[in-house]
Chains A and B, each alone.
Chain A
Amino acid sequence: EAQVTQNPRYLITVTGKKLTVTCSQNMNHEYMSWYRQDPGLGLRQIYYSMNVEVTDKGDVPEGYKVSRKEKRNFPLILESPSPNQTSLYFCASSPLLGELSYEQYFGPGTRLTVT
Chain B
Amino acid sequence: AQSVTQPDIHITVSEGASLELRCNYSYGATPYLFWYVQSPGQGLQLLLKYFSGDTLVQGIKGFEAEFKRSQSSFNLRKPSVHWSDAAEYFCAVGSMEYGNKLVFGAGTILRVKS
Contact = CB atoms under 8 A, between A and B. Distances in A.
Interface of A: 31, 33, 35, 40-45, 48, 50, 58, 90, 94, 96, 99, 101-104, 106-109
Contact of A42 (B42, B51, B106): B106
A101 B32 CA distance: 10
A108 to B, nearest CB: 4
Contact of A104 (B4, B42, B102, B105): B102
Q: Which of A35, A104, A108 has most chain B Cβ within 10 Å?
A: A104
Interface size class of B (residues with CB under 8 A): 20 to 34
B42 A108 contact: yes
A48 B100 contact: yes
B46 interface: yes
Interface in B29-65: 32, 34, 36, 42-44, 46, 49, 51-52
A94 B46 CA distance: 13
B106 A40 contact: yes
A89 B82 CA distance: 28
A104 B46 CA distance: 9
Contacts of A107: 43
B105 A42 contact: yes
A42 B6 CA distance: 10
A103 B104 contact: no
B100 A96 contact: yes
A24 to B, nearest CB: 15
The 3 closest A-B pairs by CB, nearest first: A102-B94, A42-B104, A43-B104
B43 A102 contact: no
B113 to A, nearest CB: 22
A90 to B, nearest CB: 7
Given A31-B100, A42-B6, A42-B106, 10 more contacts: A33-B101, A40-B9, A41-B106, A42-B107, A44-B104, A45-B102, A48-B100, A48-B101, A103-B46, A106-B43
